[in-house]
């Protein structure tokens, strides 16, 4: 996994947890629904989706370098 993260320039992620996969799934679902979203829209959608767990603050604990930009890389999306 570290090699994959290094290849994607995701140095902050050592291994993927269920939280990472939920973020990836949420990003992929949002990009499927909204063809070319603005980053602010993506951030707001993630904040709403993960609201019960702390929203964007929670996601910054999951991916400290930035849940939108790094999450999009991890999900194979343009961020």
According to the model, what pLDDT value does residue 7 have?
54
Token representation of residue 3: 């090699």
Token representation of residue 53: 């767990």
**Into how many domains does the chain fold?**
1
Token representation of residue 14: 């050592």
User: Is residue 8 a part of any domain in this protein?
Assistant: no
Q: Which residues of the chain have pLDDT under 50?
A: 1-4
User: Is residue 36 a part of any domain in this protein?
Assistant: yes
User: Is residue 4 a part of any domain in this protein?
Assistant: no
3-state secondary structure of 72: helix
According to the model, what pLDDT value does residue 56 have?
96
pTM higher than 0.75: yes
The structure tokens 């629904």 sit at 33
According to the model, what pLDDT value does residue 14 have?
61
Residue 53: domain span? 16-75
User: Is residue 37 a part of any domain in this protein?
Assistant: yes
């Amino acid at each position: 996994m570290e090699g994959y993260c290094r290849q994607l320039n995701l140095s902050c992620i050592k291994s993927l947890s269920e939280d990472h996969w939920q973020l990836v799934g949420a990003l992929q679902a949002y990009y499927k629904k909204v063809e070319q979203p603005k980053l602010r829209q993506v951030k707001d959608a993630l904040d709403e989706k993960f609201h019960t767990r702390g929203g964007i603050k929670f996601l910054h604990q999951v991916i400290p370098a930035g849940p939108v930009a790094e999450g999009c890389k991890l999900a194979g999306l343009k961020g």
